[in-house]
Homo-oligomer: A and B are copies of this chain.
Amino acid sequence: MVQDKFDINLYLKERGKKVEEVLEIYFPKEKDYGERVISAAKYSVFAGGKRIRPILCLAGCEVVGGDWEKILFFAAGIECIHTYSLIHDDLPCMDDDDFRRGKPSCHKAFDEATAVLAGDGLQALAFQFFTHPDLVKKVNKTKLLKAIYIISKAIGLEGMVGGQMADLLMEGKKGNARILKWIHLNKTVRLIEASIISGAILGGAKSKEIKALSVFGKNLGFAFQIVDDLLDLVGDEKKLGKKIYSDIKKQKLTYPALFGIEKTRELAEKHTQKAISALKIFGENAQPLKSIAEFVLYRVN
């Protein structure tokens, strides 16, 4: 099969490096009296993340025939949002996690106030990237404004933030599949879907392409979160860079807690298959997105 020649690890590495270059060059410099918060934000942004969300944004652009190199600023902004959400999720008043990617989490390496501010500053930095003059001059402005709107909705009170709220509220409580799905949809899926869709819009996607990518993004997002839940039970602490069994300790509502490991594995596979099926209209161009979906699924094994 021709598909076997596609090296997903190389692809992720190369695209991730491009995103990191933009982040490195345009990240605020550590200077002046507030430099501590810049150091903290930098510490978390350059902590070895896989850059999956910005890479999905670039891939969403590419699959519809867009020039992904033109939207690197946008992808970099998405990574800032993802990092801000991790910093705030790890706070003592939230999930209270001491480690992230094998290093002390931001509030452990610095302190709580600095971590809150680093997260706040990274959210603002995302929108600086989204509206950076060097991006604005390269893309269609109507599409850019639409892409920013989609991202800001996905991460807001009715999106990621609402999902994290519900996730905290459900700790220690008896949940059900409906609540769990709602939490995952908002906490994780919406940003993943929005990353792909925003890239596609910037790449000039037609309406039926956006619809297909929305199905892909939603199913990929669910597969991603379900695998994340599984890794907390069967993952390798070294590879994960954080302690396992943390969901159980916090009595989090997760798929394995509701359905058991076997059924959860099946669900992850089902979502991955659905995601991949949605890519049919893109023919061979779908290879990177298909491989990303498989990569997300097989992290678990």
Contact = CB atoms under 8 A, between A and B. Distances in A.
Contacts of A127: 127, 148, 152
Interface string A84-123: 1000100101100000000000000001111011111111
Interface stretch (A154-162, A206-214, A232-240): A154-162
Contacts of A192: none
Interface in A122-172: 122-125, 127-128, 130-133, 136, 141-142, 144-146, 148-149, 152-153, 155-166, 168-170
Interface stretch (A11-19, A35-43, A262-270): A35-43
Contact of A166 (B33, B133, B149): B33
Nearest to A178: B33
Given A136-B142, A148-B127, A120 B88 contact: yes
A186 interface: yes
Interface residues of A, number: 63
A34 interface: yes
Contact of A149 (B28, B133, B153): B133
How many of these chains are in the complex?
Answer: 2
Nearest to A143: B141
Interface string A36-75: 1110010000000000000000000000000000000000
Contacts of A281: none
A34 B132 contact: no
Contact of A37 (B38, B141, B142, B161): B161
B183 A33 contact: yes
A177 interface: no
A271 to B, nearest CB: 21
B131 A148 contact: yes
Interface of A: 28, 32-38, 41, 84, 88, 91, 93-94, 111-114, 116-125, 127-128, 130-133, 136, 141-142, 144-146, 148-149, 152-153, 155-166, 168-170, 179, 182-183, 186
24 contacts: A28-B156, A28-B157, A32-B182, A33-B170, A33-B183, A34-B157, A36-B169, A37-B161, A93-B112, A94-B116, A114-B165, A117-B161, A117-B164, A118-B157, A120-B120, A121-B156, A121-B162, A124-B153, A128-B153, A130-B148, A131-B145, A131-B148, A131-B149, A144-B145
